[in-house]
Structure 1
Amino acid sequence: MIQDDGGRKSTATYAEPEAVRRQAGDAESSRANRGWWNRNADEYQDDHGAFLGDARFVWCPEGLDEAKARLLGPSGALRERHVLEVGAGAAQCSRWLAAQGARPVALDLSHRQLQHALRIGCGDGDGAGFPLVEADARALPFADASFDAAFSAYGALQFVADPVRVLREVRRVLKPGGRWVFSVTHPLRWTLPDEPGPEGLTVLSSYFDRTPYVEEDEKGRAVYVEHHRTLGDRVRDLVGAGFRLLDVVEPEWPDWNTQEWGGWSPLRGRLIPGTAIFVCERDEGR
C-alpha cells in the first residue's frame, strides 16, 4: 500500500553527479532510476505539474493530448475497459482515463511519485478510485490477459537496459488484440546536446552509438541511467516481443506551446522531432 505523507518534501542534498557514457545493466539501471525518481519527484511535479495537469492525458512535452489524438482508441471505446499505465508518475493520465469511464491501474517504480498520485487523489469523490501499484515494469505483478489496453507516456522504456523484457511482460498481461501505446524521446535526439537553444542543434554524438548515458556519484555508482534505441531497434524490439506496429507518431510542436522542458523548446521543436509514439497491438499471429 502506498502511504500518503501529506506532501512533505525531501530535504536531502546530493553532490552534482558526473555524466558519462558507459555500459549499465538491467539491475544497475533499475536501482539507479528508482533512486533518482524518488529523490527528484518533488522537483519534477513542481516544475511540470501545471503543464501535466491533475487529470490530463499528455503524451509528450509537445503537448499532444489523448483527448484529441485518441491513440488508445476512439471516444468511448475505453469505457469499462481495464487499462494499465506503465511508469505512471503521479498518475495524471490514469486520472483522465478514470474520468472517461475506464478502469485504470497506475504502476510506477518510484514510491515518491506514487505519493504525489495520492496527494492529487485517485478517486472522483464518489468512491470510484483506481489502484496504485509500486513495481518494476520488468516483472509486472498481474495475471496473464488482465488488461484490455496498456500505455506508457515517457515511462519505463528508455530507462531499462532490456526493453524487450518489458515489452514481453506488457504483451503477457494484455488480452488478445489489446492495444499498447508508448512515447519515448525521439531517437534522433540522442545525437544532439540536451539544450533548448541554438547550441542544441549541433550533432555531437553518433545516432548508432547505443552506449547508455549514465550519471555517477562521487564513488562511480550510477544514480541515473538512460538507454538509447534507434528507430529500427524499436521496431525490431516490438516485433520480436509479439506486437504488430500500427503507427509511429512524431508530434509537431504547436504554436500555443511556448514552454521549455529540458532540451525541448519551440525553437528545436519546429525543426526536429522530439518525441516518437509507437502505436501497437498484441499480435495474435505469433
Structure 2
Amino acid sequence: MIAVNDEAVEPGGPGVTRRQVSDAQTRMASRGWWDRDADAYQAEHGAFLGDVDFVWCPEGLREADARLLGDVRGRRVLELGCGAAAAGRWLAREGARVVALDLSAGMLRHAVAAADRSGVRVPLVQADALTLPFPDAAFDTVCTAFGAVPFVSDSAAVMREVFRVLRPGGRWVFSVTHPMRWIFLDDPGEGGLVAVHSYFDRRPYVEHDAHGVPTYVEQHRTLGDRIREIVGAGFVLRDLIEPEWPEGHEQIWGQWSPLRGRLFPGTAIFVADKPNDDA
C-alpha cells in the first residue's frame, strides 16, 4: 500500500498505482504473488508466526490469550487463507477438527514442511475463498488471520460463502489491516505518520509488471464497508478488536512498527456469529 493515485500505467517498467482491476486479474495476481513470495515470506516471518501457533496480527495478539474463537475442542474449523497453516495446527492441537485452505500452492508447500517439522498435520485444500469446495453448514467455526479477505475483488462474496459453510450458531473471525492505515504511506518510520490519501478512495493498491499486468493486488474497505459486508451476509457482529501495541514488542513487520503502533491501530479483528435457526 505505498502509493500513488494515478489510474494510468506507464509502459516500460514495473510500478505501483491505485486502479480498478478485474476479478480474474486479482485472482491471478494473488495466486502468482504468494507462490513466488512464499519462501521469502516464511524466511522473514516464519519465526514470528511459529509452526504451531495462532498469531492474529503483527501486534502479536495470540488466540491462546484472546480466545476469540471460544472453546474449539471437537469443533469443525476452517482456516481460510491459511498460508503455512500455523494457526490450523495450533487449533488441531487444541482439539479442533481442522481443514486449512489457501489459493497458493507455494504457501501450502510450506504448510507441508511445517507439518513435517512439528508432527501436527491437518488436511490442506487448495481453493479459492470465493468458491469454497464444501457443503452448507460444514463447519462450526471459520477464521483467518490476514488471509483471503483483503486479496479478493468481492470480499462481500467471501462473507456470503463463509455464512453458507457455517452451521447455525457458528462463528466467523477475521483480521485485516486496519482501514485507517490506508490514509498513510507504508512507512514504519516518521514518514508513515502523515496522512496523504483519502480514506474513502476504495481503489485497490496494485503492483504491476513492465507490461502493466497486475502482480499484487490488495483491496481497501472502510470500517463501515466491512460492517455492511458482515451484516449483509446475515451475520451478527459481536465485537471489533483493535489490538494495542504491547510494551516490549520492538519487531517491525512491513509498515507495522512500535512508533506507529503506539499512536494508532494497525489491525482490525472482526468477530461475528451466524444466528441460530430458532433465534
Pick the TM interval, shorter chain: over 0.9
**Alpha-carbon distance between aligned partners in 1 of 2:116 and 2:146, rounded to the nearest angstrom:** 21
With the length of structure 1 as denominator, give the TM-score of the two structures.
0.90
Secondary structure of the residue that 1:165 maps to in structure 2?
Answer: helix
In the alignment, what sits opposite 2:55?
58
In the alignment, what sits opposite 1:141?
133
In the alignment, what sits opposite 1:244?
236
Is 1:173 the counterpart of 2:170 in the alignment? no
1:63-98 CA distance string (max 9 Å, x none): 00000000001xxx2111110000000000001001
Shift of 1:24: 1.3
Shift of 1:123: 9.2
With the length of structure 2 as denominator, give the TM-score of the two structures.
0.93
Secondary structure of the residue that 2:273 maps to in structure 1?
Answer: strand
Secondary structure of the residue that 1:215 maps to in structure 2?
Answer: strand
In the alignment, what sits opposite 1:43?
40
In the alignment, what sits opposite 1:20?
17
Contact 2:52 2:118 in 1 (8 A): no
In the alignment, what sits opposite 1:7?
none
Shift of 1:284: 4.3
In the alignment, what sits opposite 1:199?
191
In the alignment, what sits opposite 2:91?
97
**Alpha-carbon distance between aligned partners in 1 of 2:21 and 2:106, rounded to the nearest angstrom:** 24
Shift of 1:208: 0.5
In the alignment, what sits opposite 1:158?
150
Unaligned runs of 5+ in 2: 1-11
In the alignment, what sits opposite 1:277?
269
Contact 2:189 2:260 in 1 (8 A): yes
Is 1:31 the counterpart of 2:28 in the alignment? yes
Shift of 1:256: 2.5
Shift of 1:16: 7.6
Is 1:254 the counterpart of 2:246 in the alignment? yes
**Alpha-carbon distance between aligned partners in 2 of 1:80 and 1:241, rounded to the nearest angstrom:** 26
Q: Once superposed, what is the RMSD of the aligned Cα atoms? A: 1.6
**Residue type matched to 2:45 in 1?**
H
**Alpha-carbon distance between aligned partners in 2 of 1:84 and 1:122, rounded to the nearest angstrom:** 20
**Alpha-carbon distance between aligned partners in 1 of 2:26 and 2:67, rounded to the nearest angstrom:** 32
Aligned length: 267
> Which residue, 205, 209, 233 being the options, matches 1:213?
205
**Alpha-carbon distance between aligned partners in 1 of 2:118 and 2:196, rounded to the nearest angstrom:** 48
Secondary structure of the residue that 1:121 maps to in structure 2?
Answer: helix
Unaligned runs of 5+ in 1: 1-14
